[in-house]
């Protein structure tokens, strides 16, 4: 499913307009981003957990040249599906 398919389906389920569904989806995205930016994360029990992982500085290899490069420490967003969703 693409974004427009999700918007159409939300509108269908809620009985609202596609414009409202797009706003709901945008609001959901904003809540998740704000949760990740704060480092708090977002957990929807029985569905998905969005969290932030700290990745330490490390050495990596450029696959095109084989050259070693230093990767600085950074944060990385992750999503973990619940077991009820994983079975699909």
Give the tens place of pLDDT for each residue, 24-52. Answer: 999 999 999 999 999 899 999 999 999 99
- Count of C-beta atoms within a 10 Å radius of residue 7: 21
The per-residue pLDDT of the chain, averaged, comes to 94
Which residue has 């990740």 as its token pair?
36
Domain ranges of the chain: 1-38, 40-88
Total-model pTM: 0.76
Asked whether the beta carbons of 53 and 78 are under 8 A apart, the reply is yes
pLDDT tier at 88, thresholds 50, 70, 90:
confident
Please give the class, per CATH, of domain 40-88. few secondary structures
């Amino acid at each position: 499913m693409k974004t427009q398919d999700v918007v159409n389906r939300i509108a269908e389920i809620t009985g609202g307009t596609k414009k409202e569904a797009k706003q709901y989806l945008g609001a959901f995205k904003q809540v998740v981003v704000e949760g990740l930016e704060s480092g708090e994360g977002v957990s929807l029990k029985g569905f998905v957990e969005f969290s932030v992982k700290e990745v330490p500085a490390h050495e990596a290899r450029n696959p095109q040249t084989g050259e070693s490069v230093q990767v600085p420490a950074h944060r990385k967003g992750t999503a973990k599906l619940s077991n009820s969703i994983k079975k699909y």
